[in-house]
Amino acid sequence: MNGTFRSILIGSVALAGALMPPAVQADERKQLAFETIDRNAGEMAAISDSIFFFGEPGMQEFESTKLLKGTLEAAGFRVELGGAGMPTNLWAEWGSGRPKIAIVTEIDALPSGSQTPLAFDHAPLVPGAPGHMEGHNTHGGVASVAAFAVKQAMQRFNIPGTVAISFGPAEEQIASRPFIVRAGYFKDVDAVILLHIRETLATGYGVQNYAAISSIFTFHGKTAHGAVNPWDGKDAVDAVELMDIGFDKLREHLRPTYRAHRTITVGGIQPNIIPDTGQIWWFVRDASMPAAKTTYDKLLKIAEGAALMTGTTYDVKYAASAWPQLASKTIAEAIQKNIDTVGMPKWSEEEQKFARDFQKSAGRPEVGLRTTPAALGERQQSTSSNDSGDVTWVVPAGLMTFPASVPGIEYHEWHAAVTPVSSISHKGQVAGAKVLAASIIDLLTSPELVQKARAEFEVESKKTPYFSLLPPDAKPPVDLNKAEMEKFRPDMRKFYLNNTPRFN
């Protein structure tokens, strides 16, 4: 990328605050937070844009967390990097004691997501490299500036308590939150807000998505010549096939809500060698974790049967798990009020045209950018999973999304990496940070709100008591994406922005 292009992208940021509708808000504390966010809109974009070009997938968020640590420490936050056994797990906080309110979000990119910003054709910055095709880069700026704005309000108005941020590694592999929960980070937290990019300002309540369990089954047999003495062999890939067939026989007897998918990760060597190793990686999902666990326990029995039939042995390695997100109605109502106060960004005609042209080129409906926030309501449960779900069963949780994506452009494809550093994204981040900061101020300053959220949580969470899927000896998969990053990082470095954001 050349310098001119970069300055256009960054240059559009300064206007973002000025273009927001004037916030009608009697609350001086929120007003101060909003002013702080407007004043730091450029710094927020600098963080989010930097993280975009770092493009680091799960467990490899080294440059991203280094930037966030430096920025937050310079702003007065205490920052811990490397907790719960993960080098890129970042926890930051300011203040002391209760109430303690935490933002829960993530900053990881996706494999093969590299893309040139604002280009309508598939043009990777570095071919094959990872990149931000879900816009998690924006979470870094929004969470940091919102927390800083809350800190400024807490200092000015003597608001007691603590504001915290949890940047969990490897959300895309649902790999870290069970470990962060197990390490006890949320034991003294009164409420959390889960933050995610989307195409509008929105919140919601109820059970939001699916439980998932991911495990890798490795079968061990004995090699032999496929023609000369096959009777001496024990075929580990036969066991893999039988496990697959066995589960297909089970499908008829599962609840209609289940999902199960697999990939064969080790499938033999060559036909005339009876393979001594076979491996199959499974995801099992359902609308609740107990339901997913019931199916998973049956899968374990099928593995046992497959081993018995083939005379092989096997081991099971826990890979990841996620509870569905349980979102609080009480906190959603508080967030919605702030959404209504802040309102959607005022998009320019140029931005609307860009969005429509982009939608057209991607073959999506040419609806432009959303101009109204979503109404509050119970959202339909989706079948995807996010490991932040585990957090929501141990502490009352609100969730919110902010408008930094183009409608119709789905995540996990390169199109979604076209706009995360655009002025559309920057304006959406400003709106998101304001709603987030105002909602945290509500939780810090209203004991009734926190108590009501707690009472609701006690009822809702007890309907499905939380249990951890982590085996006692499970360790975080810290080498995830390591080889990929070692391969691509030298070429990706050329695009680093070398920013040093400092809040004021």
Interface size with Zn ion, residues (CB under 5 A): 1
CA distance linking residue 382 with residue 380, whole number of Å: 6
Measured distance CA(81)–CA(63) in Å, rounded = 12
- The token pair that represents 123 in the structure block: 């043009």
**Shortest gap between Cβ of 139 and Zn ion (angstroms)?**
8
Q: Residue 119 half-sphere exposure, CB side, CA atoms within 13 Å?
A: 12
134 versus 286: smaller Cβ distance to Zn ion: 134
Residue 278 φ/ψ, nearest 5 degrees: -140, 145
Phi, psi at 361, each rounded to 5°: -65, -25
- Nearer to Zn ion by C-beta: 134 or 351? 134
CA 211 to chain centroid, in Å, comes to 15
Tell me the C-alpha distance between 427 and 41, whole Å.
Answer: 8
Burial state string for 305-344 with b = 16 or more CB within 10 A and e = fewer than 16: ebbeebebebeeebbbbbbbbbbbbbbbbbbbebbebbbb
x/- track of binding to Zn ion for residues 115-154 (CB under 5 A): -------------------x--------------------
Q: Which is nearer to Zn ion, 401 or 445 (CB)?
A: 401
Minimum distance of Zn ion from residue 385's CB (angstroms): 11
How far apart, in Å, are the Cα atoms of 14 and each of 8, 10, 17, 38, 353? 11, 8, 7, 9, 21
Q: Looking at 12-170, list the stretches that DSSP marks H as alpha helix, in order from N- to C-terminal side.
A: 14-19, 28-39, 41-54, 62-74, 137-156
> Considering beta carbons, is residue 134 or 276 the nearer one to Zn ion?
134
Tokens linked to 408: 């119709």
Least separation in angstroms between CB 219 and Zn ion: 34
Query: With respect to Zn ion, which residue has the nearer C-beta, 233 or 420?
Result: 420
* Nearest distance in Å: CB 488, Zn ion: 21
Of 141 and 221, which CB lies nearer to Zn ion in the complex structure?
141
State in angstroms the smallest separation of the CB of 194 from Zn ion: 10
- Compute the least distance from the CB of residue 335 to Zn ion, in Å: 18
- Distances in Å between the alpha carbon of 334 and those of 143, 236, 342, 440, 449? 18, 55, 13, 10, 8
DSSP string, 184-224: TTTTT-SEEEEEEEESS-EE-BEE-S-EEEEEEEEEE-B--
CB-wise, 138 or 439, nearer to Zn ion? 138
Which DSSP string do the residues of 266-308 spell out, in sequence order? Answer: E--S-TTB--SEEEEEEEEEESSHHHHHHHHHHHHHHHHHHHH
| Least distance in angstroms from the C-beta of 134 to Zn ion | 5
Give 132 or 151: the residue with its C-beta nearer to Zn ion.
132
Q: Which of 3, 86, 84, 16 is nearest to 44 (CA)?
A: 16
Comparing CA positions, the residue from 179, 198, 176 lying closest to residue 57 is: 176
322, 382 contact by CB (below 8 A): no
Q: Which is nearer to Zn ion, 134 or 390 (CB)?
A: 134
Q: What is the C-alpha to C-alpha distance for residues 265 and 282, in angstroms, rounded to an integer?
A: 10
- Closest approach, Cβ 196 to Zn ion, in A, equals 6
Which residue minimizes CB distance to Zn ion? 134
- In angstroms, what is the minimal distance from the CB of 52 to Zn ion? 14
Of 17 and 403, which CB lies nearer to Zn ion in the complex structure?
403
Count of C-beta atoms within a 10 Å radius of residue 235: 24
Q: Please state the closest distance from residue 413 (CB atom) to Zn ion, in A.
A: 14
CB-wise, 36 or 419, nearer to Zn ion?
419
At 435, list the tokens: 């709603």
**C-beta of 136: minimal distance to Zn ion in Å?**
6
In angstroms, give the least distance from the CB of 381 to Zn ion: 17
Residue among 194 and 243 whose Cβ is closer to Zn ion = 194
Which two tokens mark 357? 């042209």
Q: Which residues bind Zn ion (CB under 5 A)?
A: 134
